[in-house]
Amino acid sequence: SKVKVAINGYGTIGKRVADAVTMQDDMEIIGIAKTRPNYEAFVAHDKGYNVYTLADRVDDMKKAGIPAAGSVEDMAAEADIVVDCTPGGVGEKNKALYEKAGVKAIWQGGEDHELAGCSFNAEANYAEALGRDFVRVVSCNTTGLCRVIYPLDQEYGVKKVRVTLMRRSADPNDIKTGPINAIIPNPIKLPSHHGPDVKSIMPHINITSTAVKLSTTLMHVHTLNMELEKDCTSEDVKDLFAKQSRIRFIEQGISSTAEIMELAKDIGRPRGDMWENSVWKDSVTMYEGELYFFQGIHQESIVIPENVDAIRAMMELEKDGAKSIAKTNKAMGL
């Protein structure tokens, strides 16, 4: 029988994880939890997901026209594993609920590493999550960094990483966050925490980061500069990246994140998602012994395949990370 997965928090990440799990043959969605009966709750209901809600809101859901299947506690009791996709900082409060229900849980990058005690990236440390009760799938930025740093470290040894993160300031559906016309160094005190979060997965990596927020909703862009232990050429790095299933080369005249998002729609990706790192091929350059390149990170979707792999590792559906990655990719169409 399939592993029973529940989604707590059906927003940007939660709805995508639900659909990705549904595409797999070894796991299924037994319910999603939503706080309010808004359009997303109705779409979830129409898609056939059982819609759960907070214990004191079950009647509100019913009155609004969604025959709520029950409370989050009821949902947790039905599930083998809960993927917590509530807003950053909220997920922490649900830990006691999961412990009480005796259910495994995955949190997202908005929570601290310590909450789960294991941070996850499918390529870099799949085996660490095998059989674990609690795991945190790292943020979009950290996922994007791990996917390029890990193979480079394996092949050439990474001596030092410097990264500047140019971050989208809001998701496309977010009407409350800005700026709409400014660039914000954020945080101003340096270095930022973003790059070093990679150490929650690869503690030995020497990395510093700076970050700014831009007036856009279309992806983050990273400028990377790396010193490697072994000599290699730009072509060697391109060959290595070409072998990574979750890195896509951006070329053929694509010069912006807007066009990457258009490409994702053109190739028929659900919600226009780009699950892979988008590395501008022509930017990959060895210059005076150091590596430079640009990559785009689709914040709304890059962590979705990683959540599927984390479920597979924690439920021990597959012991071999490479096999899980291949299975997830095939089912999703990566």
Q: Catalytic residues, which ones?
A: 140
Q: Kindly tell me which of 64 and 90 has the beta carbon lying closer to ligand NAD.
A: 90
- Count CB atoms within 10 A of the CB of residue 155: 16
Q: Given candidates 67, 87, 157, 187, which one binds ligand NAD under the rule CB under 6 A?
A: 87
Interaction between residue 50 and ligand NAD (CB under 6 A): no
| Tokens 């021990």 sit on residue | 316
Question: How many chain residues interact with ligand NAD (CB under 6 A)?
Answer: 25
Cα angle, residue 30 at apex, residues 265 and 274 outer, rounded to 5°: 20
Interaction between residue 8 and ligand NAD (CB under 6 A): yes
DSSP bridge partners of 184: 213
Interaction between residue 124 and ligand NAD (CB under 6 A): no
- Judged by CB under 6 A, which stretch of 80-88, 98-106, 118-126, 154-162 contacts ligand NAD? 80-88
Q: Where are the beta strands (DSSP E) in 98-246?
A: 104-107, 119-120, 134-137, 158-168, 184-185, 207-214, 220-228
Q: C-beta of 197: minimal distance to ligand NAD in Å? A: 11
Interaction between residue 74 and ligand NAD (CB under 6 A): no
The answer to whether 321 and 15 are in contact (CB under 8 A) is no
Interaction between residue 146 and ligand NAD (CB under 6 A): no
Q: C-beta of 155: minimal distance to ligand NAD in Å? A: 27
138: DSSP letter: P
Q: Given candidates 108, 277, 295, 307, which one binds ligand NAD under the rule CB under 6 A?
A: 108
Q: Given candidates 22, 64, 77, 110, which one binds ligand NAD under the rule CB under 6 A?
A: 110
Q: C-beta of 303: minimal distance to ligand NAD in Å? A: 5
Q: Given candidates 7, 11, 134, 274, which one binds ligand NAD under the rule CB under 6 A?
A: 11
Q: What is the dihedral of CA 7, 105, 193, 148, to 10 degrees?
A: -80
Interaction between residue 192 and ligand NAD (CB under 6 A): no
Beta strands at 220-228 and 158-168: parallel, antiparallel or unpaired = antiparallel
Q: Which helix (H) or strand (E) holds 322?
A: helix 321-332
Q: Kindly tell me which of 14 and 305 has the beta carbon lying closer to ligand NAD.
A: 14
- Taking the C-alpha atoms of residue 279 and residue 242, their distance in angstroms, rounded to an integer, is 10
Nearest to 141 by CA among 193, 97, 187, 106: 193
Interaction between residue 214 and ligand NAD (CB under 6 A): no
Q: C-beta of 276: minimal distance to ligand NAD in Å? A: 15
Q: Kindly tell me which of 205 and 303 has the beta carbon lying closer to ligand NAD.
A: 303
- Taking the C-alpha atoms of residue 50 and residue 304, their distance in angstroms, rounded to an integer, is 20
The answer to whether 9 and 84 are in contact (CB under 8 A) is yes
Q: What is the number of the residue whose Cβ is closest to ligand NAD?
A: 11
Interaction between residue 306 and ligand NAD (CB under 6 A): no
Q: What is the largest CA-CA distance in the chain?
A: 66
- Taking the C-alpha atoms of residue 157 and residue 160, their distance in angstroms, rounded to an integer, is 9
Interaction between residue 88 and ligand NAD (CB under 6 A): yes
Interaction between residue 85 and ligand NAD (CB under 6 A): yes
- Judged by CB under 6 A, which stretch of 7-15, 43-51, 183-191, 317-325 contacts ligand NAD? 7-15
101: DSSP letter: H
- Taking the C-alpha atoms of residue 140 and residue 4, their distance in angstroms, rounded to an integer, is 25
Q: Which residues bind ligand NAD (CB under 6 A)?
A: 8-14, 33-35, 85-88, 90, 108-111, 139-140, 171, 299-300, 303
